[in-house]
C-alpha cells in the first residue's frame, strides 16, 4: 500500500488476502479517524498504472448482505461486481459503511415502515423527504483517499446503475472513464424499490407488473421507549422477506431501536 498511511482522515490499517466465491482478493482495511467508521477495498491484481481500473463503490446493506433479505438489489449488485472484477482479472471494490444511503439503519427501517404503511404508494425517496432527510446522503471522500493510499491514479470504470454516484465521485476529483451498468433482474419482492430507483434516474429495465403484496398491513408508528427500558427507543417495525428461495421467502418483522445511553442503533427479527 502506498505511503503515506494516513490520507485526509482515512487511516490505512493493512491488507490481508481473503478467499471469496469469486476467487481471492486482497482486502485493505481503513479507519476514518473522524467518523470512527471502517472502510474496505477488495483489490484484484495491480491497480496502479495508467490503464483504466474496473471499480465498484458499494455501500453496506445489513439486511440483504447479512440477513438474506430480497427487498432490494444490494447483495445482488455486490456479487455481480465481484464477479465482473474476477472476470476482468483486475479491479477494486470499495465497501463503505453507509447503510440506508448514508442515513443509517434506523432511518432505513423507518423508510421501509413508511413505504409499507402506504402500501407502496409512497416511494423510498419520498419517505426520506418526509423524514427531513436528503434522498441520498452518501459521501465518497473516503474513496478518493483510499485510491491515493492504494496508488490508484488511472480513470475508473465504475460498475453502477446510478449516474448520480458517478457525478458524486467526480466531485471528489476522481476521474471516471465510463459507467458500466450492473444488469440485475428485478424480483416480485424488490420490484417497488427498483421502480423507485428507475424513476429517480437509475439505469434499470422496465418495471415488473407482478410486485409482491405484503402479507399483512404495516402501521406507521412514532418512536417510543420500551416498557421498563426508558433508555431504549423503539423507532420502527416493518416486514422483511428473507431466506428461502427468491420465489418464496419467509416474511419476518424487523424492529429497529436506538439505545440512548450508548447511542447505538440496533435491530431485531421476529416471526417467520
As given in the structure block, the three cell numbers for residue 176 are 471516471
Convert 181-236 into a string of H (helix), E (strand) and C (coil).
CCCCCCCCCCHHHHHHHHHCCCCCCCCCCCCCCCCCCCCCCCCEEECCEEEEEEEE
Long-range contacts of 184-191 (CB under 8 A, 24+ apart): 184/73, 184/76, 184/77, 184/80, 186/73, 187/70, 187/246, 187/247, 188/212, 189/70, 189/71, 189/241, 189/246, 189/249, 190/70, 190/71, 190/72, 190/73
Query: Of 71, 73, 111, 136, which one is the catalytic site residue?
Result: 136
Which residues sit opposite 232 in a β-bridge? 259
Query: Of 138, 180, 198, 208, which one is the catalytic site residue?
Result: 138
Q: Would residue 138 show up in a list of annotated catalytic residues for this protein? A: yes
Q: Would residue 136 show up in a list of annotated catalytic residues for this protein? A: yes
Active site members: 136, 138
Amino acid at each position: 500500500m502506498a505511503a503515506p498511511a494516513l490520507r485526509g482522515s482515512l487511516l490505512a490499517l493493512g491488507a490481508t488476502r481473503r478467499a471469496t466465491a469469486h476467487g481471492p482478493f486482497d482486502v485493505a482495511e481503513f479507519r476514518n479517524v473522524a467518523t470512527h467508521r471502517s472502510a474496505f477495498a477488495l483489490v484484484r491484481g495491480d491497480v496502479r498504472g495508467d490503464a483504466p481500473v474496473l471499480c465498484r463503490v458499494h455501500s453496506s446493506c445489513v439486511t440483504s448482505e447479512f440477513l438474506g433479505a430480497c427487498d432490494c438489489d444490494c447483495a445482488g449488485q455486490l456479487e455481480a461486481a465481484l464477479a465482473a472484477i474476477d472476470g476482468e482479472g483486475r479491479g477494486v471494490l470499495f465497501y463503505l459503511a453507509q447503510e440506508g444511503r448514508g442515513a443509517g439503519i434506523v432511518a432505513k427501517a423507518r423508510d421501509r415502515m413508511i413505504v409499507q404503511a402506504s402500501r407502496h404508494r409512497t416511494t423510498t425517496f419520498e419517505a426520506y423527504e418526509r423524514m427531513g432527510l436528503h434522498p441520498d446522503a452518501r459521501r465518497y471522500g473516503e474513496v478518493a483517499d483510499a485510491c491515493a493510499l492504494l496508488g490508484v491514479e488511472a480513470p475508473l470504470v465504475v460498475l453502477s446503475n446510478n449516474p448520480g454516484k458517478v457525478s458524486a465521485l467526480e466531485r471528489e476529483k476522481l476521474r471516471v472513464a465510463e459507467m458500466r451498468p450492473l444488469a440485475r433482474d428485478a424480483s416480485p419482492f424488490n420490484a417497488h424499490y427498483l421502480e423507485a430507483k428507475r424513476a429517480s434516474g437509475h439505469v434499470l429495465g422496465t418495471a415488473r407488473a407482478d410486485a409482491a403484496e405484503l402479507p399483512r398491513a404495516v402501521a406507521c408508528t412514532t418512536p417510543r421507549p420500551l416498557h421498563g427500558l426508558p433508555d431504549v427507543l423503539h423507532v420502527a417495525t416493518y416486514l422483511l422477506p428473507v431466506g428461502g428461495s427468491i420465489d418464496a421467502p419467509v416474511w419476518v418483522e424487523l424492529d429497529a431501536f436506538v439505545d440512548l445511553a450508548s447511542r447505538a442503533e440496533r435491530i431485531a427479527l421476529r416471526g417467520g
